[in-house]
Amino acid sequence: MNRYRIMLMALVFALIAAPAGAQTKEKITVAFPTVDPTAEVLYAYDLGFFDKQGLDVTLQPLSNGGAIAAGVASGAIDFGVGNVIAIESAHTKGVPLTIVAPGAANINSAPSNVLIVVKNSPLQKASDLNGKIIATNPLRGIGDLMTDAWIDKNGGDSSTVKYIEIPFPQAESVVVQGRADASLSVEPFITQAKGDTRVFANTFGVLGDNYLITAFFAAAPWAQAHPAIVAKFAAAIREAGDWANKNQAKSAEILAKYAKLDPDVVKATIRARYATTVTPGQLQPTIDTAAKYKFIDNGFPAQDIIFQAK
């Protein structure tokens, strides 16, 4: 009897003495494009915000938003981040994706998504884009949607424009080589291309300030089955976004490290501003505009795609 009592006491003491870090972390996979508007995941990973939430994160860089959405929908990826139009489109097609955390918001005073043209381009106004070729990434995403809306609002005819898909790092070369008349671009590639190109328009400004450009999402059934993981992940992303908004020089170094860019170039860019909340009002403008331009099958209340644990 004494022997069993001693063994039990030893087990109790061992459990008490076990370090907090010995607890098993939840393993998750996060897919993302390695660009500023989706870089919160890098900051959360690098600064230990995921660790603090008890999450063991595997990063999966992917430049194709459609591939990210498909991976999340299939269960191969736990969380993804991308432009909100992809999430909204999936919803109208019956693909159960749900937004779990905010990404970048549009801020007109600091445009980090713009339309560029070669420096000596004759294009000057919206109607000059009629019949022209514009590069974007991805096709039928938020870039060409905002460009269509901007062209029409400013006197052009978006129905005459042809879009081609190119990766953002090629935004400069596609206009310099004449394969497109204009191209959507994001930072840091806008700043890197200043020698050969100029900003034609801040087309994202057509819907005003503070609407969400990107968002983090999960498969709705998976999220409902794992609400605690979703809450931890969202907390880490919000903390990363808040930190990045206040520490742009330091966040530039982290982004440069993972994207293999010159830190000084990244520091010179117009940086993305991250939202720290997700509200229907931040999503409804893009839903309504996407429905108007037939980028999605139908409009719907934004609340329908914001995660709420049952």
Phi, psi angle pair for 39, to nearest 5°? -85, 0
Q: What pLDDT, in 10s, does the model give residues 6-54?
A: 443 443 334 334 444 446 899 999 999 998 999 999 999 999 999 999 9
pTM for the structure as a whole: 0.88
List the domains of the chain with CATH numbers: 9-106+210-305 (3.40.190.10), 113-206 (3.40.190.10)
Q: What angle do CA 158, 160, 161 make, to 5 degrees?
A: 70
Pairing of β 104-105 and β 55-61: unpaired
Give the pLDDT of residue 11: 37
> HEC profile for the chain?
CHHHHHHHHHHHHHHHHCCHHHCCCEEEEEEECCCHHHCHHHHHHHCCHHHHCCEEEEEEECCCHHHHHHHHHHCCCCEEEEEHHHHHHHHHCCCCEEEEEECEECCCCCCCEEEEEECCCCCCCHHHHCCCEEEECCCCCHHHHHHHHHHHHCCCCHHHCEEEECCHHHHHHHHHCCCCCEEEEECCHHHHCCCCEEEEECHHHHHCCCCECEEEEEEHHHHHHCHHHHHHHHHHHHHHHHHHHHCHHHHHHHHHHHHCCCHHHHHCCCCCEECCCCCHHHHHHHHHHHHHCCCCCCCCCHHHHECCCC
Give the pLDDT of residue 23: 64
**Cβ distance 110 to 270 under 8 Å?**
yes
> Digits of tens for pLDDT over the chain (310 positions)?
445 454 434 433 343 344 444 468 999 999 999 989 999 999 999 999 999 999 999 999 998 888 899 999 999 999 999 999 999 999 999 999 999 999 999 999 989 899 999 999 999 999 999 999 999 988 999 999 999 999 999 999 999 999 999 988 899 999 999 999 999 998 888 998 999 999 999 999 999 999 999 999 999 999 999 999 999 999 999 999 999 999 999 999 999 999 998 999 999 999 999 999 999 999 999 999 999 999 999 999 999 999 999 8
**Cβ distance 51 to 261 under 8 Å?**
no
Nearest CA to 229 out of 25, 21, 20 is that of 25
* Calpha distance 224→219 (Å, rounded): 9
Give the pLDDT of residue 63: 81
Give the pLDDT of residue 138: 86
Nearest CA to 97 out of 114, 110, 111, 83 is that of 83
